[in-house]
């Protein structure tokens, strides 16, 4: 029986991206039994700098502890990362999930930057046992807005937890920093921006995420017209899970 089912809609915007191919990589790793699997997709960027794919069934190899299916991607041209996903833990124990979205940038922002981000989570007691819960990992935020792979904007920081009040119930949590804006000061962005979600989800239950991260050059170093930041059309996803 499948141990993990994930359904997510992801959206990433980039400025001045050239028409071409956007290579979208998806990796799911089951740490409980050492099984690992990677799926790689390629999506065309249209003439309007937009690429879209939906309901991509990645399947599940025999013996894997997860089922990964119904991948949807919608991306346009703007300097932000925006995506959503839903995941249901079908394992019999609490499971740790990490969802990571990365957008390469070129040219780099060598000076100071301003960032902003937001997150909203809906937790559902999908198995009607009244004990649905979602929590951060020790020392790690549920949401991390990242520049060059380093956490720049943590939201729902550890220790964080949420739970439903009754069987079949729903709980909602949200957080934001630097919005409206962006207004939160950050350092240079040399190669990538992205969002990483890390959390523990109770068995049998479902969580739905909607998240946003934006970056701009600080006003003192905004380039002249015609020198706008160019973000590459490459969108990378890394999804890992392990049983707690």
> Which pLDDT tens digit goes with each residue over 152-191?
999 999 999 999 999 999 999 999 999 999 999 999 998 8
Instruction: Count how many domains the chain has.
Output: 1
Under the banding of pLDDT at 50, 70 and 90, the label for residue 20 is very low
Look over the chain and give the mean of its residue pLDDT values, rounded to a whole number. Answer: 71
| pLDDT > 70? residue 98 | yes
Q: What is the pLDDT of residue 125?
A: 98
Of the candidates 92, 178, 88, 66, the one whose C-alpha atom is nearest the C-alpha of residue 134 is: 88
The domain containing residue 33 runs over which residues? 4-243
The Cα–Cα gap between 82 and 49 comes to: 16
State the pTM of this model: 0.74
Q: What is the pLDDT of residue 244?
A: 54
Per the listing, tokens 């070129």 go with: 106
The Cα–Cα gap between 157 and 135 comes to: 10
């Amino acid at each position: 029986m499948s141990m993990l089912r994930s359904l997510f809609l992801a959206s990433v915007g980039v400025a001045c991206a050239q028409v071409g191919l956007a290579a979208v990589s998806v990796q799911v790793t089951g740490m409980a039994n050492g099984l690992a699997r990677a799926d790689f997709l390629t999506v065309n960027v249209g003439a309007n700098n937009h690429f879209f794919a939906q309901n991509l069934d990645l399947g599940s190899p025999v013996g894997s502890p997860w089922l990964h299916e119904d991948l949807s991607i919608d991306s346009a041209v703007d300097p932000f990362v925006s995506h959503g996903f839903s995941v249901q833990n079908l394992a019999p124990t609490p499971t740790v999930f990490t969802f990571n979205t990365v957008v390469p940038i070129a040219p780099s922002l060598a000076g100071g930057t301003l960032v902003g981000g937001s997150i909203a989570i809906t937790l559902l007691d999908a198995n009607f046992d009244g004990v649905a819960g979602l929590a951060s990992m020790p020392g790690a935020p549920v949401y991390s807005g990242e520049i060059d792979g380093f956490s720049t904007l943590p939201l729902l920081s550890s220790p964080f937890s949420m739970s439903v009040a009754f069987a079949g119930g729903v709980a909602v949590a949200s957080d934001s920093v630097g919005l409206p804006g962006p207004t939160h000061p950050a350092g240079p962005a040399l190669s990538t921006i992205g969002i990483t979600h890390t959390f523990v989800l109770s068995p049998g239950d479902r969580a739905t995420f909607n998240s946003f991260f934006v970056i701009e050059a600080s006003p003192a170093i905004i380039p002249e017209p015609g020198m706008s930041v160019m973000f590459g059309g490459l969108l990378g996803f890394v999804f890992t899970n392990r049983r707690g």
